[in-house]
Structure formats: C-alpha cells, structure tokens
Amino acid sequence: MQEKVNAIIAALKKRYPDAPCALHYSIDYQLMIAVRLSAQCTDARVNLVTPALFEAYPTLEAMAGADIAHIEQLVHSCGFYKHKARDIVLACQMLLHDYGGKVPGTMEELLRLPGVGRKTANLLLGDLYAIPGSVVCDTHCIRICGRLGLSQGKDPEKVETQLRKILPPEESSDFCHRIVLFGREICTARSPKCDTCPLASWCVERPQ
C-alpha cells in the first residue's frame, strides 16, 4: 500500500507541480469565510462572490459588525445563504473576542467557530499553518480515493482517518489540493476520462 501511495503522490506531483488552494484570499480570516461559502457550492462561484464581500467589509472588525441581512444579499448565489451569512458574522466575532483577531491554529479551537467542521479546519491548518497530517476530505477526495482503493466508504471523518494512516503527513495537504485538480480535470464524478488517466493502473474501479 505504501508503495502505491508514494507512486500516486509522485504521479500527481508530476501533473500538478504546484498545489495551490483554489479559493482566493489575502488574509487568514478571508480563507475561513471562503471555505464556509464553498459548502455545496463551487470554488469558482465563491471566487466571484468574495471580492465584493471583502470590499464591502475590508477588515475583520467590519465583518464582525456587519448586518447579517446585507451579508445574505452578497453571498446569496452561493446557496444556503442565511446559514452562511450568520456563521460568517458570528465566527468573525469569535475571532475578535476569543482569539485575538487571528484564525486559531489547532483543530479543537477551530471546531468551536460557527460553521467550521473538520474539512474546513483541516484546510485552514494545512494552508495557513502548514500543519502536517491535514487531510481535507471533500467530495473529490472521497470519490477518488475510493476509486483508487486508498479508502472505503463515504463518511468524511472515516475516510480522513483512513488516509491519515497511509499519507505521509508532510504530503497530505498538498495531496488533497492536487486531488481536487485531478477530480476536475480527469476523475470527474460522471464520465471520468479513464483512457487518459495517469492513475489508471492503480484504480480499482476502472472499466476492464
């Protein structure tokens, strides 16, 4: 298994030398907001919405004091806008009151923030703090790692636990970013491009 994992990591690195986060942000709390907006929404849509949001509320203090109804208007196209707008304002208030205006750097502290689950927390830990072992289990990760035989099931927390056991901790965050790129380009949910897939030899679900 470890040889397989290393080979998959190497192949993904070759295809995607850089492994950037797809969400655009300048300050730590902006990434927290962008990830919250990305739930049940595409990163592309979020990147269209956040410039106006961050321009309207250019500081953490401004975001924490924002009118939730106005936030709802700005993020409406991301879906579930009422829940997302509320979580954004409450989370920013908590950053100010409890964490000195900074996104905290531990899983336990992050999970206290409204709207932050393990997927969001792992992404923040990996991208903001380069914490080894940060595994972001989004739909791409769950689908593709299942197809490759690296994990079983579709429960995000269980898949995260399985991947933590086999991914080199220093590679896990970038691996998850590369999996997203791979899932958009090759291993799509429907009609994956198996004929041109660089990981086909390791896939357990490819057509025979």
Q: What is the CATH number of the domain that holds 34?
A: 1.10.340.30
Return the pLDDT at 205: 80
Q: DSSP string of 130-154?
A: --TT-----HHHHHHHHHTTS--SS
Task: Enter the pTM of the model.
Answer: 0.92
- Tell me if 9 sits within 8 A of 174, measured CB to CB: no
Task: Report how many domains make up the chain.
Answer: 2
Res 108 pLDDT > 80? yes
- Pair 153, 195 in one domain: yes
Q: Please pick, among 43, 127, 138, 174, the residue that the annotation labels catalytic.
A: 138
Domain that holds residue 97: 28-129
Query: Is there a catalytic annotation at residue 87?
Result: no
- Pair 64, 98 in one domain: yes
Q: Please pick, among 28, 43, 84, 119, the residue that the annotation labels catalytic.
A: 119
- Pair 117, 153 in one domain: no
The percent helix, strand, coil of the chain (3-state, each to 5) is 65, 0, 35
Does residue 180 sit within a domain? yes
Q: Per-residue pLDDT tens for 27-68?
A: 999 999 999 999 999 999 999 999 999 999 999 999 999 999
- Tell me if 186 sits within 8 A of 192, measured CB to CB: yes
- Nearest C-alpha neighbor of 169 from the set 160, 157, 182: 160
Does residue 81 sit within a domain? yes
- Pair 178, 151 in one domain: yes
pLDDT-derived band at 208 (thresholds 50, 70, 90) equals low
Query: Is there a catalytic annotation at residue 119?
Result: yes
